[in-house]
């Protein structure tokens, strides 16, 4: 289970590639297995990387608000037995 039902965050435009800005957290269904994180399929995955071990969500490229001002992601957590997913909405604001 993720610690939140959904995540929503705003980041500054022109955020550089490699900037980590959100840590997603999920617990194992039976509390003994290690949780791995994955990006679900989606058109906005190209802009972000997700650390499969820590749940840290990071920019993959420079975020340009003029090209796109909102991103929608689906993140999946899996402990080898149980799987859950959560929506992540990322807005961009001018600096």
What is the model's pLDDT at position 31? 67
Contacts 24+ apart (CB under 8 A), 21-25: 21/57, 21/58, 21/59, 22/56, 22/57, 22/88, 23/54, 23/55, 23/56, 23/57, 24/50, 24/55, 24/56, 24/57, 24/75, 24/77, 24/86, 24/88, 25/55
- 6-60 pLDDT tens trace: 999 999 999 999 999 999 999 887 766 799 999 998 889 999 999 999 999 999 9
In this structure, the strands spanning 6-12 and 83-93 are parallel
Q: Which helix (H) or strand (E) holds 58?
A: strand 56-59
pLDDT of residue 62 exceeding 80: yes
pTM of the model: 0.90
- Name beta bridge partners: 89: 8, 72
What is the model's pLDDT at position 28? 82
What is the model's pLDDT at position 32? 66
């Amino acid at each position: 289970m993720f610690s939140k039902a959904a995540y929503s965050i705003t980041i500054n435009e022109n955020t550089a590639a490699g900037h980590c800005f959100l840590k997603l957290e999920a617990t194992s269904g039976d509390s003994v297995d290690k949780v791995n994180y994955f990006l679900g399929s989606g058109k906005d995955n190209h802009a972000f990387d997700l650390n499969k071990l820590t749940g840290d969500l990071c920019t993959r490229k420079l975020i340009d608000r003029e090209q796109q001002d909102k991103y929608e992601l689906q993140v999946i957590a899996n402990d080898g037995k149980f799987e859950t997913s959560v929506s992540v909405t990322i807005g961009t604001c001018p600096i």
